Amino acid sequence: MAGRKICSYCGKKLEGKSCYGSGDGKEEELYCSSECRDKHRTALESVRKNMKWFAAGIIVSVLLVLSSAFLGAGEKESGKLTAGCGMLLLGLTVVLFPYCTPETYAMFGYVKTNRLGRVIGVLVAIFGLWMLFEG
Ligand SMILES: [Zn+2]
């Protein structure tokens, strides 16, 4: 699918205007300006740096939610508490590090995908809080 061309950073449509490749080796990224290219490079740098925290947050929250399923079989209250904490942590992790799949970045660009990730993270965190206090 090579039909849709957007700026890899800001998601602006590229209509045959000058684009700048990243020169990163593999697939060539397209940008509307060299400014976007530089910003994207800086952003990807911090993504790489924070990836371990992102992974740790996801793993811990998934483990919490999973263990709540086992706890929930015996004790409803602690199961709900664990699941609520897990959802809250998952939401906060995504808000702090809204990393999405490469497909999503390719479709919307970096900036819009981050915004989308943050919105989802906030919703998940609110759901976690609701589980904690509404039980
Ligand atoms: Zn751009």
The answer to whether residue 7 sits within a structural domain is: no
Q: Are 84 and 135 in contact (CB under 8 A)?
A: yes
pLDDT in tens, 43-88: 999 999 999 999 999 999 999 999 988 876 556 777 888 999 999 9
Q: How far, in Å, from the CA of 85 to the mean position of ligand 1? A: 38
pLDDT at residue 19 greater than cutoff 70: no
The answer to whether residue 21 sits within a structural domain is: no
Q: Which domain holds residue 66?
A: 48-134
Higher-confidence position of 45 and 25: 45
The answer to whether residue 40 sits within a structural domain is: no
pLDDT at residue 26 greater than cutoff 80: no
As a whole number of angstroms, the distance between CA 46 and CA 22 comes to: 17
Categorize the per-residue pLDDT at 1 as very low, low, confident or very high, splitting at 50, 70 and 90. Answer: very low
The count of structural domains within the chain is 1
Average pLDDT for the chain? 86
The answer to whether residue 102 sits within a structural domain is: yes
pTM of the model: 0.81
For residues 24-41, average pLDDT: 81
The answer to whether residue 94 sits within a structural domain is: yes
The answer to whether residue 122 sits within a structural domain is: yes
Q: How far, in Å, from the CA of 15 to the mean position of ligand 1? A: 12
Amino acid letter at 111?
V
Residue 77: per-residue pLDDT: 76
As a whole number of angstroms, the distance between CA 119 and CA 124 comes to: 9
The answer to whether residue 31 sits within a structural domain is: no
Residue 93: per-residue pLDDT: 97
The answer to whether residue 41 sits within a structural domain is: no
Q: How far, in Å, from the CA of 49 to the mean position of ligand 1? A: 23
* Location of structure tokens 């709900």: 80
Q: How far, in Å, from the CA of 116 to the mean position of ligand 1? A: 17
Q: Are 36 and 10 in contact (CB under 8 A)?
A: yes
